[in-house]
Amino acid sequence: MNGSIDFGYPWWLSYGHLVILLPSLAVLFAAWRREWRRGWLLAFGALAAWAATSMFVTRSFNVNGRAPLPTENFLKSGVGHVLDIGAGTGRSSIMVLGARPKATLAAVDLFGDSFGHHFGSNGDPRNRLLANLKAAGVADRATIETGDMRKLPFAAESFDAIVSAYAMDHVGREGARQALAEAHRVVKPGGDFLLVLVGNDRWTKFAYGPLLTHGGTRGPAWWREEARQAGFTVEEEGSSPATIFLLLRRPG
């Protein structure tokens, strides 16, 4: 491995609540020492408790850490060529290649405005992805491609499995339908599709409010139905703080 992995998610996702927690604790301490009204103690105590709880939720999400594979049923054979749709800086690619050491992977992303919005515009985005793959020791099993998930630059039935993490919920309803149809087109019959999405659950809403809302009002039921309309079967579903996943399969 060379260097360290840096997925480049903004600081406020991991540490933003400290900006509220630390001043709240300071004011709470001053209010207690100076015997301010009980209402001030309750107000700043509640604010500090919210920020502290939100920090715990944030650490569970751990966007800048290496992600565990959410289900062992994905690419259970352990071998095959995987497509990562919307690979970004490589978190999902490294997740798959780390869990499936005999697999290879093509990481595809548009590397456009959305990439810069989420990860910043410092240098060539492909080099940032490559640097992370090298740091994780998996670059020899990966290639990087530029492409739009709504019109993938691959032939039909090119991949044994697909992963997409926190990407398809960025392109709107029609874009998501197109991306699901494209995923169905390029995966082989019998192939898996691990779809990971930001979960607009109560913990996410509690910690971030509208700041981390992806996919509008679309929940698991919407994605299940659209996946079925695209031709997939739903094999497994699960969740963790701020995340839902669907393990889909193209019948064959």
Is the confidence at residue 45, as pLDDT, over 70? yes
* CA contacts within 13 A on the Cβ side of 68: 7
Q: Inter-axis angle of helices 38-61 and 18-33, to 10 degrees?
A: 150
Top CATH class, 79-249: alpha beta
Residue 201 φ then ψ, to 5°: -85, 180
Write down the residue that tokens 């920020």 correspond to.
Answer: 51
Question: pTM score, two decimals?
Answer: 0.79
Residue 141 has what pLDDT? 98
Q: Which is it for the CA torsion 162, 12, 242, 198, positive or negative?
A: negative
Q: What is the pLDDT of residues 134-154, one digit of tens each?
A: 999 999 999 999 999 999 999
Q: Can you give the residue ranges of every domain in the chain?
A: 11-61, 79-249
Predicted confidence band of residue 66 (pLDDT cuts 50, 70, 90): confident
User: Are 120 and 8 contacting, i.e. CB atoms less than 8 angstroms apart?
Assistant: yes
Closest CA to 224 of 237, 240, 241: 237
Residue 242 φ then ψ, to 5°: 70, 10
Least confident range of 49-58, 100-109, 199-208, 227-236: 199-208
Residue 12 has what pLDDT? 58
